[in-house]
Amino acid sequence: MAYKLLFVCLGNICRSPAAENIMNHLIVQAGLSERIICDSAGTSSYHIGSPPDRRMSAAAAMRGISMKGRARQFQVADFENYDLILAMDKDNYLDILALDPRQQYCDKVRLMCEFATRHQIREVPDPYYGGREGFEKVIDLLLDSCEGLLEYVKSSLPD
């Protein structure tokens, strides 16, 4: 049975699809495509069905990572369908937990930056209203966080 990861931001067009696609890139490199599955979602309904933001796609392409997918909104069923739900910032984290009033799944919800090893920042900033360098910084932060996350997940996989 595959380990399932869900990356969550506000609109699901910048940070969470970048995390999903970076993680998939690392999973392929590690030869773990059959064992780890990724998806992404947004806490809002603003961009449902939209492709990843072109600026984020350009920043990812500079690192050899292609951006795939379409935006969708986080659903309560996602709590049961995923092993780990990774929020990009504290607002996303709290929005996700608000959908779990009985706190059945709070142990599955973590902040993405908990897995960063080279960056001290604790939240992935939203680059949507900024310039190109903000998107590049987010890619660097997510690469760091995804590398740490992959090590964490590998240690959780059964032999």
Amino acid at 13: I
Q: Is residue 88 within 8 Å of residue 7, measured between CB atoms?
A: yes
Instruction: Indicate which residue of 9, 14, 38, 113 is catalytic.
Output: 9
Amino acid at 139: I
Q: Is 126 a catalytic residue?
A: yes
Q: Is 9 a catalytic residue?
A: yes
Instruction: Indicate which residue of 15, 38, 53, 146 is catalytic.
Output: 15
d(CA 125, CA 70): 21
Query: What's the half-sphere exposure (Cβ side, CA atoms, 13 Å) at 26?
Result: 20
Query: What's the DSSP call for residue 50?
Result: P
Residue 117: strand pairing partners? none
Distance from chain centroid for Cα 22: 9
Instruction: Indicate which residue of 39, 53, 126, 144 is catalytic.
Output: 126
Q: Which residues are catalytic?
A: 9, 15, 126
